[in-house]
Amino acid sequence: MEQYESVLKLLLEAVQMNLSSTEKKQGVPEIPVGISNRHVHLSQADVNALFGEGYELSPMKDLSQPGQYACKETVTICGPKGAIEKVRVLGPVRSKTQVEVLLGDSFKLGVVAPTRLSGDLQGTPGITLIGTKGSVQITEGLVAAQRHIHMSCEDAKALEVQDGEIVSIEVDGLRGGIYHNVAIRANDTSVLEFHVDTEEANALGVHSLSKIKIKK
Amino acid sequence: MEQYESVLKLLLEAVQMNLSSTEKKQGVPEIPVGISNRHVHLSQADVNALFGEGYELSPMKDLSQPGQYACKETVTICGPKGAIEKVRVLGPVRSKTQVEVLLGDSFKLGVVAPTRLSGDLQGTPGITLIGTKGSVQITEGLVAAQRHIHMSCEDAKALEVQDGEIVSIEVDGLRGGIYHNVAIRANDTSVLEFHVDTEEANALGVHSLSKIKIKK
């Protein structure tokens, strides 16, 4: 048993050494992939309208970005051409409601979602949301998320990029390719992760265990 | 009236000259985009099993590739995890049934569709199809289409590519990027068109009026 543990310890050290030497050789950390399906961020006023006055969202699962979580609550999104049910609410509440859909959802809803970075909602179209206790018609906030990479300031230094910079990323494989216009979002509360939606992930054949690299 | 026609003729000539000089300047034809949603090609034996003995598919709309058409008929695709209804049948019948889904459909169905070129079905998974008169369980034929460009041999010459060659294509715009491993399929019965599925089209923000270029 003791021997078994020694071997295990040696193996673990070897793996760790190998990992760190790989990182050192490449000089940059590998970037994990976070894949988002359609989802909504809600203001407290809209939470009240959708789920009842003073309602508090129920956290269900932590997301990789610190403090962010998927909630038990879902809403229905309704446009002039159709509705999409069971769209996950993400918490915590925000100052403004933001509805992030796939570009393909635009056709179902009958409203074209412009590609925007999170929070950049000026001039975006509105949409109707339906909850268990009521509905709200937001006048702006429907977007398709622009591809971006969250990271700490330390990661940004290692990756030789800056907050706000626009880069391209590359993925290998049969469905491999390059995405341009990927925004760097660096601050000290973020964890390194490339964010894409399900259509973008499927198009390049990446999944939750994939790693991508920035192409200079 | 005569003057009006003269002006029109002059204008038309100017436009045509401008178009041809643009083509000459670029040296290559522009490549239109054809976007496929999930669909099935059926063998006559499977048509019989799904819609009745001796049934003939009903053409509904011609596709851009000569002789190919969308049919009035649809089928339901069933996997161990779920079903997808109203999947369009494309005609004419083929020697083997081929079910082309989106990568995202793999999750709904519970079967991973490998990325393959049309006709390359060896070792691909099977799936169950349901029609109005019965169902068939195919033992292979479920694929996600590999990106490809159909073209005539003349187009291939102008684009300086060959049948079977693998190229990359580039798209501009906010969602722009590059797809690698795009197969050239050149023969004298094909019309120039870059084929992608809806996820791939949305990921790069291309639509039916977009043009793409081969990146050497």
pLDDT in tens, B135-168: 999 999 999 999 999 999 999 999 999 999 999 9
Q: In chain A, which segments carry CATH 2.40.40.20?
A: 29-33+147-215
Contact A179, A215 (CB under 8 A): no
First to last CA, chain A: 50
pTM equals: 0.85
Of A115, A204, A205, the CB nearest to B174: A115
Type of residue numbered B154: E
Contact A178 B177 (CB under 8 A): yes
Contact B205 A115 (CB under 8 A): yes
Q: Of A207, A119, A201, A117, nearest to A165 (Cα)?
A: A117
CB of A21 within 8 Å of a chain B CB? The answer is no
Bridge partner residues of B137 (DSSP): B128
Residue A86, classed as helix, strand or coil, is strand
For residue A29, what pLDDT is reported?
84
Contact A50, A132 (CB under 8 A): yes
Q: How far is CA A63 from CA A49, A81, A124, A152, B12, in A?
A: 25, 32, 26, 16, 59
Q: How confident is the model over A139-164, as a mean pLDDT? A: 97
pLDDT in tens, A159-211: 999 999 999 999 999 999 999 999 999 999 999 999 999 999 999 999 999 99
What is the 3 state secondary structure string of A160-204? CCCCCCEEEEEECCCCCEEEEEEEEEECCCCCCEEEEEHHHHHHC
Q: Which residues of A touch B199 (CB under 8 A)?
A: 104, 198-199, 202-203
Looking at domain A29-33+147-215, which CATH architecture does it have? Beta Barrel (2.40)
Q: Which residues of B touch A199 (CB under 8 A)?
A: 104, 198-199, 202-203
pLDDT in tens, B1-45: 445 555 555 555 544 444 444 444 456 789 999 999 999 999 999
Q: Of B108, B92, B115, nearest to B40 (Cα)?
A: B92
CB of B203 within 8 Å of a chain A CB? The answer is yes
Q: Which residues of A touch B177 (CB under 8 A)?
A: 168, 177-180
Contact A102 B204 (CB under 8 A): no
Q: Which residues of B touch A202 (CB under 8 A)?
A: 102-104, 199-200, 203
Beta strands in B79-147 (DSSP E): 83-91, 98-100, 115-116, 127-130, 135-138, 142-145
Distance between CA A171 and CA A175 in Å, rounded? Answer: 8
What lies within 8 Å, CB to CB, of A25 at 6+ separation is none
- Alpha-carbon torsion, ordered A7, A26, A197, A132, to 10 deg: 50
Here the ipTM equals: 0.84
Contact A174 B168 (CB under 8 A): no
Q: Which residues of A touch B179 (CB under 8 A)?
A: 175, 177, 203
Which token pair is B137? 């369980």
Q: Is the dihedral of CA B196, B169, A182, B144 positive or negative?
A: positive
Of B146, B177, B199, the CB nearest to A202: B199
pLDDT in tens, B44-69: 999 999 999 999 999 999 999 999 99
